[in-house]
Each structure stands twice: as structure tokens, then as C-alpha cells.
Structure 1
Amino acid sequence: MRLLRPVNSVMVGLAVLVGAYLAEPNPSLWDIWGTALGFVTGFTLTGFSMVLNDYFDRDIDAVNEPGRPIPSGAVKPSGALVYAALLSAVGLTTSTLTGMGCFMLAALSTVLSIGYTSYGKRLGLIGNMMVSGCIAIPFLYGGLLVGNPRLSNLLAASTAFLSNTGREVTKGIVDLEGDRRFGVETVAVRYGCRRAAYVAAALYTSAVLLTPIPFFTGDATLGYLIAVAVTDLGFLYSSIRLLKDPSRSGARRVKNQVVAWMLLGLLAFTLLEF
């Protein structure tokens, strides 16, 4: 299960459901079977990308995270590869059962995952954006499941893209030693931890700046405003903490905090209709 990273996988599965809700706020009009398959697609394809990443990163993890399943010897590399193939097969199969548009988005996510883990991570910020594309897609995928994506789907996808790119840049600070040794050109490796912290903080702030849009379009509810205000304060707090302490330990704390803010952001978008 540690290879799968179930928290990440559940988050993406929930993002699919949030995307469906944003496109059609009345669940009684959903195809429940199709929506359930959408959750499975999001969950398994995220698990696939997590496992595949651990497979390709096994040498780097031996330096940065020696307790991970593969470098610790708990899982063989060949076993991880088989597991990844199984997860991708399940995810792509379930996507074909919900329409061609959904399959194309699932296939795009799979291609981005393979491209990132095999080579893209060496491209620095571009690689970070490839990962974030996989995080943004579920909000559009969910919209396609129940009809046509709306502006709120695009907004959720954009904020997820920006905040996760910031988290990936932050993660590059945490993984600096191993990344430098193995030629992974993260922002931290190329420009240093302090500049990477500024880039990450700018991305978090950019995500925050998008959140008032529903207020100006007349779509914001009181529940959304309250939840998104807490989320925004969380992102701004983490940005300040990272700028004050761009060390490995400081970045690790911020990286973990951001997961909580992203989960709260998911909740905020579900409250757009309440």
C-alpha cells in the first residue's frame, strides 16, 4: 500500500467526484455507475503513477528516502513494475466504459505520468508541470462524466495545477541531495533552495489569486467563501514559512502542510453550490 500512496490516490478519485459535482450539482442526475467508475479510474491511474515513479526513482530514493518500499527491499523492482501495469490496465479499462472523451483524458494522464517518470523529471519546472497536469485533469474528467465541464471545473483544475506545481518545487528542495547526485534538474538543483522557495511561494500565491473569481461571477456561496478563505490563509502561511526556512526540514513541513490545504480546497469547491 505504501507504493500506492492511498491518500494521494483517494484525493484524485475525490477530485473526479468534485469535478462531476461542479458540472452537475444534482447527483440524482448522475450516472452513478459511470461516476463510480470515474473514481476508480482516478484512484488507479494515480496509484499507477506513484508506483511507476518509485520504480524509476529507486536509486534516488536510496539516498533521499531509503525507507521507501523498493530501496528498503520490501518490494522488488520487477514486482513494482507488474503492479504499475495492472493499475494502469484497470484505470484505462474503466475509462473506456464512460466515453471516448474520458478515455482520451485518462490516456493523456497516463502518457504524462510515463513521460514524467521516465524522463520529464529531469526537465525541472516543465517536469513539475507534467505532474500537475495529472492532478488537474480529474476535475475536467469528472465534468465529462456527467455532461460538459463548466467554468468552475476549469477554475478548480487551474488552482490544483498551480498549487501542486508549487508543492513539486517544494519537494525538489527536500530531495536536493539525491536529485543533484543523479542529474535531476529541479529548480532547487539549478538555482538553489532559496530561489526555489520563491518560485514555490509564487505558485501558491497564484493559486490563491484565482479563488475570488466565483465571487466576481456571482457563483460564490457563503460556505465556499469561508472554506476558501481558510485554504488561502493556509497557502499564504506555508509560503511565508518556506521563505523563512527553505531548508530540507522546513520544505518537508511545508510539503506536508500543502496536502491539507489542497484537501480543504477540494471541500471549498464542493461548497460552491451550498
Structure 2
Amino acid sequence: MTTEPLIKPLITPPAVPEPRALLELLKPITWFAPMWAFACGVISSGAALQGRWPVAIAGILLAGPLVCATSQAANDWFDRHVDAINEPDRPIPSGRIPGRWGLYVAIAWTLVSLAVAALLGPWVLGAGVFGLVLAWLYSAPPVRLKRDGWWGNAACGLCYEGLPWFTGAAVMGSALPDGRIIGLAALYSLGAHGIMTLNDFKSMEGDRRTGIRSLPVRLGADRAARLACWVMAAPQAAVVALLLAWNAPWHAALVAALLVGQGVLMRRFLADPHGRAAWYNGTGTLLYVLGMLTAALALRGGLA
């Protein structure tokens, strides 16, 4: 007669993470925003790409697969307890990234990012250092900016939109970009604060239980959604006004039309903020970034 053991042996987790788990940790889907913003910076600079394609491509890789991926790895490491509630299948809480590998990857990607930024010149290195510092301050204690929805979203908006735009223009001109370029980058960074709020709706339960005061947790889903819409819309209205002042009426009209389209989508989002935040992120945000490109083309057309 045989008896089964009362406690079944545990499956030993892998000592080294699999490549697929590492890729999931670095979240390639998040790389698009800073890569797009960097490209907008390149376009807005008005500089010719001929002979500078390697620099532009290296900058795009720095913005996405390096700096942005660093921020994602660091965030997942310091958020592993929150993710165990909100997204237990994420690589770290699920055990597919074992031990302290998540932290090691974040550190290694930081060092590689700094090395690439240094090769692209002092302006890019300065912007890269600033972005990486913000990425660590966002996730790591004791500062952990993400614990406050106001500061955390501001840091993300700057790193995802404004800083890559500035860097793209700086790397092409090898100098401080024109003030109008910096102004547009700042406005789209401010609007991205609202976009970051959209990402917080999916993690409200875990945020409440772990003391993260995201805007949906602090204000409630309905108020946070209305605030996000205003924060996204107001800077774009300012962009329209600036483009008109800079004698770019057709570009201003297109940005305005894209803003109207977002307004239509926002009405549907506001009817069910918790259920449609991801939907709006995939629809309204597309119109937002097309407006960024339109504004960049206006500058390239002779304003900068």
C-alpha cells in the first residue's frame, strides 16, 4: 500500500530568466511613445537626415529599448508586491524572473543607456542622465514618486514625451533646441500627464491596498477621468493657438481637428472610465500623437 506525500515537492524556479520573460519585463509596447517623441524632435529640428541616419537611429533606440526599458524593469522590480495583487502573471511575481534578476537587469540597462547617450554628445548625455534619474526616483524608495499621482504622472509625462522630443532636436542640431521646440515639447509633456492617469485605472485595487495614491484612488474614477481629459485637451488647445501665432494655420487646423476627434472619444470614455480607460488609451492617444507629429512638421516647415 502506497501513500502520497502530504506536501508535494515545489517546482524549482529557473536560476536564469528565459529570454521571453526578460522581453516581457522590458515591455516593448511602452517604447513607442518615447521613440515617437524622439522622432518628432528630429523632425522639428529642421536638420537634414542625410549623413546623420546612424545618429538618429541610435537616438531612437536610446529613447525606447534602452532608457524606457530601464524604467520598466526598475518599476517592475520595485512594484513586485503591487503586481502580485494586480498582475500576478507579470514576470517577477510569477517567478519567471527569479531572485534579484529584475534589479540586475534594471542596473545593467541603466549602464548601457548611459554609455550610448555619452556617444551621442553632451546634450544627449545630459538628457539621458536626467531621464534615468527620474526613472529610478519614480519607482525606487525612499522617494518613489509613483506613490503620488500628481508627481509620478508628471515625471512619466516628461520622460515619455518632452525629454525625448528635446533630445531628438538636440542630437540633430548638436545644440540647445529653439525655444519653440522646447515649448511644444513641454506642452505635450503636460498633456501626457493625463495619458498616464489612464494607465492607473487598471491597478486601483492594488494601489489602494499598498498605499499608492494614484489619481483614480485619490479622486475616484469619475473625477480622475474628467481631470485626465482636461489635462490632455488644454495643452493641445495651447498648441493650436501657438501654431496660429506662428503663421501655420493649416497645421493648427489639423491639430484642432484631431482634438475634436479626441473630444468625441472622451465622451464615450467618461461614461465608463474604469472599463474604457484601456480603450481610450488605444484610440484617443493615437490622435494625440498624430497631433504631435503635425506640430513637429509645422516647425520643420520653416518656423524653427
Same fold (TM over 0.5): yes
Q: SS at the partner of 1:70? A: coil
Select which of 58, 62, 65 maps to 1:37.
58
Residues in 1 aligned to 2:253 and 2:28: alpha-carbon distance in whole angstroms? 28
2:269 corresponds to which residue? 242
Any conservation in 2 of the 1:227–1:264 contact (CA below 8 Å)? Answer: no
AA matched with 1:42: A
Structure-2 change in CA distance of 1:199 and 1:21 (3 Å) = same
Instruction: Write the mapping of 1:50-199 to structure 2, written as runs, cut at 5 A.
Output: 50-76=72-98, 78-118=100-140, 119-135=144-160, 136-147=162-173, 148-199=176-227
Residues in 2 aligned to 1:63 and 1:97: alpha-carbon distance in whole angstroms? 41
Gaps of 5+ in 1: none
What TM-score does the superposition give when structure 1 sets the normalisation length? 0.88
Percent identical among aligned pairs is 26
Answer with 1 or 2: which has the greater Rg: 2
AA matched with 1:120: L
CA-atom RMSD, angstroms? 2.2
Number of residue pairs matched by the alignment: 270
Q: Does 1:208 align with 2:208?
A: no
Residues in 2 aligned to 1:225 and 1:5: alpha-carbon distance in whole angstroms? 34
Give per-residue Cα distances to partners, 1:240-270, cap 9 Å, x unaligned.
2332222x21223223334423442343234
Q: SS at the partner of 1:138? A: helix
Residues in 1 aligned to 2:57 and 2:229: alpha-carbon distance in whole angstroms? 35
What TM-score does the superposition give when structure 2 sets the normalisation length? 0.80
Any conservation in 1 of the 2:37–2:164 contact (CA below 8 Å)? Answer: yes
Structure-2 change in CA distance of 1:25 and 1:7 (3 Å) = farther
Any conservation in 2 of the 1:21–1:27 contact (CA below 8 Å)? Answer: no
Select which of 254, 258, 262 maps to 2:280.
254
- Report the CA distance between 1:189 and its aligned residue: 1.4
Residues in 1 aligned to 2:288 and 2:103: alpha-carbon distance in whole angstroms? 29
* Farther-moved stretch of structure 1 (171-180 vs 252-261): 252-261
Structure-2 change in CA distance of 1:230 and 1:86 (3 Å) = farther
Select which of 211, 217, 226 maps to 2:246.
217
2:20 corresponds to which residue? none
Any conservation in 2 of the 1:162–1:206 contact (CA below 8 Å)? Answer: no
Gaps of 5+ in 2: 1-22
Any conservation in 1 of the 2:158–2:190 contact (CA below 8 Å)? Answer: no
